[in-house]
Structure 1
Amino acid sequence: MTSTRTGRWVRLDGTTNTRDLGGLPTSDGGRTAAGRILRSDNLQTLSGDDVERLVRGVGLRQVIDLRTTAEILLEGRGPLRRVPDVEHRHFSLLPERGHHTDVFAVEEDDVALDLPAGWAESLLPRQVAEHDEGEHPAVRSYLGYLGHRADNVVGALRALTRAPGASVVHCAAGKDRTGVVCALSLAVAGVPHEEIVADYAMTAEIIDALVAKLAASPTYADDMVSRDVASHTPRAETMDRVLTLLDERHGGPIGWLHAHGFGADEQAALRARLRD
């Protein structure tokens, strides 16, 4: 596939769910800026042309990886790891059964020795929040990220404020963990609730290709083939409900961020990254 930009989609040979957070309307009549923050599925299978376009064309200088340590070790080093100008930061949104102070310093040859015990139980985004038993499972998962890994949610946003060039936020599919971090980023930029929901739901447009891509990886194949495509498809109601609960419980995403140490100065820095 030739790499082309169609609207906000960034069409690459090695990814299925890459798009730019630029071009979204804001509540004050503006729009988010293109080429600042991208969201994506796993970057392991980028082609040489993809890397060239991202680094030289988009100006990519930072990768925010939301996968678990186990996922990173099992998938191995992606092609962007060979680019010295691109910084990689790791912020898992799931509980870790083991600990690496610098997961990107661990070589693939050490996988058999370094995989945390019980890694398979926490490989995919099934973490759920307590006290929300009545909510949809996906909503509970997203609340679980915010409840159990608030430190890494904030850490990812903090890293985005400090990037010298364009950043890409990704997990495996680029819809759940990436969706939550990007939703908070867009809220800080002043993108209204309904537009954040619409951005989240865009992944449904390419879900068949995304599931097929993940099914080709031994890391994710079992989960992909054990459930139908519909169960993997993001629903607008999921993100709508998460944002509504943040409104009710914290005064919105901004209130949640304030409560977890991401204050006005850092919010202003992230807003500046996403706005002209």
Structure 2
Amino acid sequence: MAQLGWDGCRNARDVGGLPTNSGRTTRAGTVVRTDSLHRLSPAGRAALDGIAAGLVLDLRSDWEMETLGEPHPLDGSPTYVRIPWIDPEAEALRDPESEPSLAHIYRGSLDRNGRKIAAAYRAIAAVPLSAPVVVHCHSGKDRTGLLVAVLLDLVGVPRDLIAADYAISEVLLEITERPADLRTPPEVILDSLDHLDRRYGGARAYLVRIGLTDTEIDQLSARLVGSTIEAVVFDFDGLVMDTETLDFRPGIRAWLTEARELGLRVAIASSSARSWVEGHLVRVGALDLFDVVVTGDDVDGHKPDPAVYLLALSRLGVAGSAAVAVEDTAHGVAAAAAAGMGTIGIPNPYVSADELAGADVVLDSAEALPLREALDLLDPAEDLAS
């Protein structure tokens, strides 16, 4: 966690640099938490503009904006979105006497504001991973604190570090002498995370309960810790295309769509001729689904020689260790492995599953699992959901 020198905002911090239980570290420059941006000086505003945020998410309610009496400094910008954390309909039914402490208020807030909270997380998940997200409320400690704490718990940051990140707000805001319910005691955020465990089964289960999809949750995880997998490379004959039916094999089109949703690059590495491969892809309107198409025309050696995969990796700009090959033959699996890639084997009508035993993962078809779950099987400790 690094405090940012945004003049006028005392609680502006990058949540990068925190270790996770899996040995990874939260990425810097992807999520910034702060207090209200209304306080930014011209120099502070220049610092904000300098990060080129893809989203500035304001969690304040309508009444707060009316009380403030002035527009948000980014009002009218396509990157500024206000999604109130507090659901006014649910808030109208709240019994304040049932929530006598800040811990009770936080628990109740997570329970009753699920519709609005889901909208906030969904907005974050929709932002390209290359663009930073800035989240704020009034002081950047309660609503922003909860939103960030759930994200950090999702990716496995130890809870003592989550509590420390939350608690530093009262120091930065210089409110350490105020009553506990106006500060950020670490035990309050720990209680909130324990509440998610007890009532929902943890942060991920909570996000599912309030309506987020697995893909959206994976995007949130990838924003904070990235993914060890950056690209998926498919063989063509008998795998991507069934050359007898002249269509995609079952589940492949869904995998291609899911790969895009996960922010993965997608390629074909085939020993067949380019005219054959691209001709079929053009016929079914699928050529633009792939970032790179490498064929036997581009290399001297054919599989199990790794040349076609090595060229695909070079054109994708990723290392073999950051890519997975989806293959339907033993020599294809061998070629991908020689290129340093993880491998998923899917048998075709002429190749049995036993013949693909050299692959890291063997599935009956692409319909057997969503792509995300298939990739998770390659290394559960480093899966996309962290």
**TM-score grouping bracket, smaller chain normalisation:** 0.7 to 0.9
Tell me, yes or no, if structure 1 residue 146 matches structure 2 residue 96. Answer: no
Conserved in 2, the CA contact under 8 Å of 1:128 and 1:137? no
Kindly indicate whether structure 1 or structure 2 has the higher relative contact order, using CA contacts under 8 Å at least 6 residues apart. 1
For residues 162-216 of structure 1, what are the alpha-carbon distances to aligned partners after superposition, in whole Å with 9 as ceiling and x for unaligned? 12421111111111111111111112223232222121111122232x69xxxxx
Letter in 2 for 1:92: P
What is the TM-score of this pair, normalised by structure 1?
Answer: 0.72
Larger radius of gyration: 2
Tell me, yes or no, if structure 1 residue 247 matches structure 2 residue 239. Answer: no
Tell me the number of residue pairs that the alignment of Structure 1 and Structure 2 aligns. 221
**Residue of structure 2 aligned with 1:198, choices 156, 160, 164:** 164
Q: How does 1:114-125 map to 2 (within 5 A)?
A: none
Q: CA deviation at 1:73?
A: 2.6
Cα distance in 1 for partners of 2:171, 2:19 equals: 20
Say if 1:270 and 1:231 are closer, same or farther in 2 by CA, change over 3 A. Answer: closer
Q: Who is 2:126 aligned against?
A: 162
Cα distance in 1 for partners of 2:193, 2:96 equals: 15
What is the TM-score of this pair, normalised by structure 2?
Answer: 0.53
Tell me, yes or no, if structure 1 residue 275 matches structure 2 residue 225. Answer: yes
Cα distance in 2 for partners of 1:230, 1:79 equals: 31
Q: Which deviates more, 176-185 or 261-270?
A: 261-270
Q: CA deviation at 1:9?
A: 0.5
Cα distance in 2 for partners of 1:78, 1:249 equals: 36
Q: Who is 2:62 aligned against?
A: 69
Q: CA deviation at 1:241?
A: 0.9
Say if 1:13 and 1:96 are closer, same or farther in 2 by CA, change over 3 A. Answer: same
Q: CA deviation at 1:230?
A: 4.8
> Secondary structure, in 3 states, of the residue corresponding to 1:245?
helix
Cα distance in 2 for partners of 1:230, 1:140 equals: 13
Cα distance in 1 for partners of 2:7, 2:219 equals: 32
Conserved in 1, the CA contact under 8 Å of 2:141 and 2:169? yes
Conserved in 1, the CA contact under 8 Å of 2:101 and 2:181? no
Tell me, yes or no, if structure 1 residue 32 matches structure 2 residue 26. Answer: yes
Q: CA deviation at 1:95?
A: 4.1
Letter in 2 for 1:23: G
Letter in 2 for 1:151: R
Q: Which contiguous aligned blocks of 4+ residues in structure 1 show a shift greater than 4 angstroms? A: 127-130
Q: How does 1:32-111 map to 2 (within 5 A)?
A: 32-56=26-50, 58-75=51-68, 76-81=70-75, 84=77, 86-96=78-88
For residues 129-181 of structure 1, what are the alpha-carbon distances to aligned partners after superposition, in whole Å with 9 as ceiling and x for unaligned? 89xx4x76111211222122101111111111112421111111111111111
Cα distance in 2 for partners of 1:232, 1:64 equals: 23
The percentage of counterpart residues that share the same residue type is 33
> Secondary structure, in 3 states, of the residue corresponding to 2:39?
coil
- Give the helix-richer structure, 1 or 2: 1
Q: Who is 1:180 aligned against?
A: 146
Cα distance in 2 for partners of 1:128, 1:270 equals: 32
Cα distance in 2 for partners of 1:198, 1:77 equals: 33
CA RMSD of aligned residues (A): 2.5
Q: Who is 1:236 aligned against?
A: 186
Conserved in 2, the CA contact under 8 Å of 1:139 and 1:241? yes
Gaps of 5+ in 1: 1-6, 98-120, 212-226
